[in-house]
Amino acid sequence: MEKTFLMVKPDGVQRNLIGEVVSRFEKKGFQLVGAKLMQVSKELAEKHYEEHKDKPFFGELVDFITSGPVFAMVWEGENVIATARQMMGKTNPQEALGGTIRGDYGLSVGKNVIHGSDSKESAEREIGLFFNDDDILSYEKDA
């Protein structure tokens, strides 16, 4: 079964949107298999955003993601990587459709509430950066 890494960013945590975000993925039918409220270190932020290290906004990205607690999660389900990206909406909330998380709640390209892995490779890499193997559970849901 496919897994993805999702993270409520500091703006989402500050605005009490953890429950809203979790609820959307629960209701869609995906399964939460790992979660933690945590403070991202500068070192972890730089690794997480490695692919953006040459972009002019890299410093801002690292500063923002380390500015307050984030809620890091691992979700499991069929096609969860692509479906979660659809549910999140476009990176820029002004372009994201209503009904998506960023369309409904995002304020700016930086303060866009949620991060989600964009491919199988990123999902594996990001899950590995934020979670130990034994932080990820495997359990049957009855409903």
Q: Which stretch binds ligand CMP (CB under 6 A): 56-64, 71-79, 95-103, 130-138?
A: 56-64
Scan residues 106-125 and list those touching ligand CMP (CB under 6 A).
109-110, 112, 115
Count CA within 13 A, CB hemisphere, residue 82.
Answer: 2
How many Å apart are CA 37 and CA 39, to the nearest integer? 7
- Tell me the residue type at 2: E
Query: Exactly one of 3, 75, 115, 130 is catalytic; which is it?
Result: 115
Scan residues 67-96 and list those touching ligand CMP (CB under 6 A).
91
Indicate which single residue of 14, 42, 43, 57 sits in contact with ligand CMP (rule: CB under 6 A). Answer: 57
**Residue 114 β-bridge partners:** 8
The closest of 70, 63, 57 to 17, measured between CA atoms, is 70
Residues that bind ligand CMP (CB under 6 A): 52, 57, 60-61, 91, 109-110, 112, 115
* Catalytic sites, residue numbers: 115
